[in-house]
Chain A
Amino acid sequence: MLIAILSGFLFSFFMVFVGKYMKGKLAFLSALIPLGLFIYFLQFAGRISNGEIISQTYAWVPSLGIDFGLTLDGLSLIFCLMITGIGFLVFAYTAAYLKGHHYLDRFYGYLGIFMAAMLGVVLSDNVISLFTFWELTSISSFFLIGFNNNEEASRKSAVLALAITGMGGLLLFAGVVILGNVVGTYSISEMLSSKEFIANSPQYTLIVALIFGAAFTKSAQFPFHFWLPGAMKAPTPVSTYLHSATMVKAGVYLLMRFTPILGSTEFWNSTLIIVGSITMLYAAIHTLFRTDLKGILAYSTISALGILVFLIGLGTEAALLAACVFILVHALYKATLFLITGIIDHETGTRDVTVLSGLRKVLFPVAIAGFLAAISNAGIPPSFGFLGKDLIYEATLHFGNSAILLTVLAIITNILLLYAGFLAGIKPFTGKLPHTFSKVHLPSFLMWTPPLILAILGILIGVFPSIIQGSLIQPAVNALGETGSAVELKLWHGFNTILALSATTIGIGLLFYFFIKPSVKIEAAIKKLEYLSPKTMIEGFGIAFGHFSKIWTTFFQNGFLRHYVSTIILFLVLVMGYTLINNTNYVLNFSSLTQLTIYEVITVIIMIGGILYTVFSKSRLAAVAAMGVVGLTISLIFVYYSAPDLAMTQFAIDTLTVILFVLVLYRLPKYLKLSNYKSRIKDGILSITFGTLITILALEVLNEPQNSEISEFYAANAYLLAKGKNVVNVILVDFRGIDTFMEITVLTIAAIGVFGLLKLRLTTKDRAIVKDKNKI
């Protein structure tokens, strides 16, 4: 399975080198990768349906208990098949949709990364690796939304989507780390046995809130839904694949995955029901006000995601079964609708639903796909959608006290979704063909077969639900912790309440479709309310935050080195002074100090002389030289107190520092004016306070009981383990060698920085070139 995940990344990697040969007629070959993966995952279906769970573990960071664990159970399998199956069709579709595009190879590269990351999310058993892949899906989605990066709107939507989903990623990270600490393991399969323990821990609410934050942002739940309509700026294959069929379902997957671990509590269920129902209604109502096909589909996707969250919130066995089925139903019909929207856009150049009509005469196979998808979306028998909707009503009807309210909510949502589906799948094909579209012709079969396949599957599974009943749905429901009764999917249940509800939904939905006509006027009307929307508020917050950070930065980063130094010291004085005042007992034990020697006295006198000269000198170079004297006397003191290594290093460093100072200051003019008395006194007070604090700190260290375990270990083992007698050096090159390695790396970066700043400055000629480029 590791190879299965890696193959997507490897594909993207090779695209960098061979991409330019894959842009032309060979582009469709890319689709072989998801196809191969689809077949690979399909062969597990038999084993999974027998109740087997396939897992593999690779050591990753064993010292932290983080393994690269992969688990394939029923839930993962449904997602894997969706990712690779729809992936295959989208890869093939893209070859025709973006035919001849200059950056087609790049597009495939991002898609490959996304597919691999998404497989990683649904296969990870370890929450840390799940988080890693989760972030990778956000990042690949960012690149795909902003694919047309010469359009400002694309770039803006990409940043917005990354900001929202990236924030969710951080919440997820915090959530899983706390969860891992509470349980003591990062493995999801090991967490399953500690459900009670987690539910009783004081951090339970926090963990669930953080994981909800991640799922709601990723799956576009209210009030974080607004990034998804913006994400529709991406090319249509991306909208199909990421923003309706797979990536946005990652949040739903997360909730399902954690249902057996965190679920069935008051907080879990009621939050999900409330958020899910607000989202499904809010977004479904929004579809009434859209005229752009992709906009309609975006809001109906959000609404469908709301239904899924709502079902997970109900949490009963019937509801979870409905969720598992509805994921598939939705993926099949929504991907179809997106793909046909892509074809319409590609061939007619518009997605405006008020203009499009009669296209069945020129795009017949596409019209069939649209019609089939629309009836599956509407839940008209014998489609798979009918089955899905029945299960939803069954779940809400048997939900205790609030059954009627929840059922009504579900019915309203479904009526509006039916309207949206008909608008996207049927409206463009019916009626009279306008003259402007008479020259429209059917695109390459690579484009029209994928939606047709998906649409026919949507009907086929409806007629023969047994295809997926035992192999996919049953194991998935089991993976959610429901091991009770056997799942049975049937198209015909006889005449009962549910059938009546279905009929009502379809009837009212059709009335809506025939009587409400989408118009630009209504769309304009809803725009007036936009200042109230969460999107405007969060964008406003973003702008305010930007202003704040600008003020904050200009206050501290004012460009005066002396201000930086005094700010840093002032901060240290405040923090250190506060601690010292609170915790110091000011006992000075003179007997613990050694006797002064004459050498020390002389050295200190020289040092004080050096300091006074530095402070009162009128010449820069003299001050620097005097500072060198201070440095050298300090290294002398190191010698007295038997720290020869330190003394040598201090000596060499001081020499080089003086040289550097001289080199720099030599070029500056003489002091033009000395700083005035006021600021000198201010600086003096600051430095004297700081010095005093350091002295108190040093004396205070003497009072602390010494903890010499570590130094004793080093001293005892330097020769035994590292064959060295100089402990300082052994620590540097052996015990703490990795630290040293990092340090020399950082120093190298600093040196390259100095070199770059001083040597690679633009010449006048370069500047002219840059100016020209900016003009273009």
Chain B
Amino acid sequence: MKSIILKTASNYLLPLLLLFSLFILLRGHYLPGGGFVGGLIASIAFVLHAFANGLQTTKHLLRIHPGFLMPIGLSVAFLAGISPMFLSGLPFMTGIWFPEPISVVGMIGSALFFDIGVYLVVIGISLTIIFTITESK
């Protein structure tokens, strides 16, 4: 698609949408949002960028193949799940939290890291599928 308006806009929209997806991810524990929706929004941001600028530009921007985000995200989620076993001797997937919230992010705990894992996996999955289908002949 060769539209100069879309191309220019997408360059500004990509960082904005990514920020928005992070916002959705972080607020998930208290307000509507979460890792799954956040991940979908982030992948939509990249897909939009790819539509406007061509797939190669987006891939270049990403540096790594989005497929790598899947194992990374799964590992993050798994580590978040087993962390209570090592840190406090509690069963798998018990939520543990820092006592005080920090500014901007809010409360930090194993559930948040689990959600970050979900976020990364969802980006990895959607982009892998969409990029693969786009490239296929």
Bound complex: CA of A726 vs CA of B122, how far in Å? 20
In the complex, are the beta carbons of A733 and B130 less than 8 A apart?
no
Contact with B along A563-597 (1 / 0, CB 8 A): 00000000000000000000000000000000000
In the complex, are the beta carbons of A644 and B29 less than 8 A apart?
no
Number of interface residues of B (CB under 8 A): 48
Q: Which residue of B lies closest to A754 (CB)?
A: B129
B70, CB-defined interface residue at 8 Å: yes
In the complex, are the beta carbons of B36 and A649 less than 8 A apart?
yes
Bound complex: CA of A652 vs CA of B93, how far in Å? 28
Query: Which B residues are CB-close (under 8 A) to A755?
Result: 67, 128-129, 132
Bound complex: CA of A660 vs CA of B32, how far in Å? 26
Bound complex: CA of A729 vs CA of B74, how far in Å? 18
- Most chain B CB neighbours (cut-off 10 Å) among A648, A723, A733, A758: A733
B53, CB-defined interface residue at 8 Å: no
Query: Which B residues are CB-close (under 8 A) to A726?
Result: 28-34
- Most chain B CB neighbours (cut-off 10 Å) among A656, A744, A745: A744
Q: Which residue of B lies closest to A653 (CB)?
A: B40
A72, CB-defined interface residue at 8 Å: no
Q: What distance in Å separates the Cβ of B28 from its nearest Cβ neighbour in chain A?
A: 4
Contact with B along A431-451 (1 / 0, CB 8 A): 000000000000000000000
Bound complex: CA of A740 vs CA of B95, how far in Å? 15
Contact with A along B101-133 (1 / 0, CB 8 A): 000000101010011011001101110111011
* A734 in contact with B117 given A663-B133, A751-B124 (CB within 8 Å): no
* A747 in contact with B36 given A663-B130, A733-B111, A740-B118 (CB within 8 Å): no
Q: Which residue of B lies closest to A659 (CB)?
A: B47
A721, CB-defined interface residue at 8 Å: yes
* A652 in contact with B40 given A730-B29, A744-B117 (CB within 8 Å): yes
In the complex, are the beta carbons of A723 and B95 less than 8 A apart?
yes
A528, CB-defined interface residue at 8 Å: no
Q: How many A-B residue pairs have CB under 8 A?
A: 138
Bound complex: CA of A182 vs CA of B43, how far in Å? 53
* A732 in contact with B47 given A723-B97, A751-B70, A754-B133 (CB within 8 Å): no
* A664 in contact with B40 given A732-B34, A747-B121 (CB within 8 Å): no
Bound complex: CA of A734 vs CA of B78, how far in Å? 13
Q: What distance in Å separates the Cβ of A738 from its nearest Cβ neighbour in chain B?
A: 6
In the complex, are the beta carbons of A733 and B35 less than 8 A apart?
yes
In the complex, are the beta carbons of A737 and B47 less than 8 A apart?
no
Q: What distance in Å separates the Cβ of B69 from its nearest Cβ neighbour in chain A?
A: 10
Contact with B along A694-731 (1 / 0, CB 8 A): 00000000000000000000000000011111101110
Interface residues of A in 730-776 (CB under 8 A from B): 730, 732-734, 737-738, 740-741, 744-745, 747-748, 750-752, 754-755, 758-759
In the complex, are the beta carbons of A648 and B37 less than 8 A apart?
yes
Query: Which A residues are CB-close (under 8 A) to B71?
Result: 748
Main secondary structure of the interface of B (DSSP, over half): helix
B52, CB-defined interface residue at 8 Å: no
B56, CB-defined interface residue at 8 Å: no
* A659 in contact with B130 given A726-B33, A740-B118 (CB within 8 Å): yes
In the complex, are the beta carbons of A645 and B37 less than 8 A apart?
yes
Bound complex: CA of A645 vs CA of B38, how far in Å? 11
B41, CB-defined interface residue at 8 Å: yes
A655, CB-defined interface residue at 8 Å: yes
Q: What distance in Å separates the Cβ of B119 from its nearest Cβ neighbour in chain A?
A: 10
In the complex, are the beta carbons of B34 and A645 less than 8 A apart?
yes
Partner of B32, one of A644, A721, A732, A745: A644
Bound complex: CA of A656 vs CA of B81, how far in Å? 29
Query: Which A residues are CB-close (under 8 A) to B132?
Result: 754-755, 758-759
In the complex, are the beta carbons of B73 and A744 less than 8 A apart?
yes
Bound complex: CA of A752 vs CA of B109, how far in Å? 30
In the complex, are the beta carbons of B67 and A751 less than 8 A apart?
yes
B134, CB-defined interface residue at 8 Å: yes
* A660 in contact with B31 given A734-B111, A748-B70 (CB within 8 Å): no
In the complex, are the beta carbons of B30 and A733 less than 8 A apart?
no
In the complex, are the beta carbons of B29 and A725 less than 8 A apart?
yes
Interface residues of A in 639-664 (CB under 8 A from B): 644-645, 648-649, 652-653, 655-656, 659-660, 663-664
Query: Which B residues are CB-close (under 8 A) to A655?
Result: 40, 44
- Most chain A CB neighbours (cut-off 10 Å) among B37, B47, B107: B37
Q: What distance in Å separates the Cβ of B27 from its nearest Cβ neighbour in chain A?
A: 8
Q: What distance in Å separates the Cβ of A8 from its nearest Cβ neighbour in chain B?
A: 29
* A745 in contact with B74 given A722-B111, A726-B31, A726-B33 (CB within 8 Å): yes
Q: What distance in Å separates the Cβ of B73 from its nearest Cβ neighbour in chain A?
A: 7
Can you list 28 A-B contacts (CB < 8 A)?
A: A645-B37, A648-B24, A648-B32, A648-B33, A649-B36, A649-B37, A652-B40, A656-B130, A659-B47, A663-B130, A722-B95, A726-B28, A726-B32, A729-B29, A734-B111, A738-B81, A740-B114, A740-B118, A744-B117, A748-B71, A748-B74, A751-B67, A751-B70, A751-B128, A751-B129, A755-B129, A758-B133, A758-B136
**B interface residues, Cβ below 8 angstroms from A:** 24, 28-37, 40-41, 43-44, 47, 67, 70-71, 73-74, 77-78, 81, 92-93, 95, 97, 107, 109, 111, 114-115, 117-118, 121-122, 124-126, 128-130, 132-136
Q: Which 7 A-B pairs have the closest CB atoms?
A: A652-B40, A644-B32, A724-B29, A751-B125, A729-B34, A725-B30, A744-B121
Taking A733-B29, A759-B136 as given, write out 5 further A-B residue pairs in contact, using a Cβ cutoff of 8 Å, ordered by the A residue number.
A656-B43, A728-B34, A740-B77, A755-B129, A758-B132
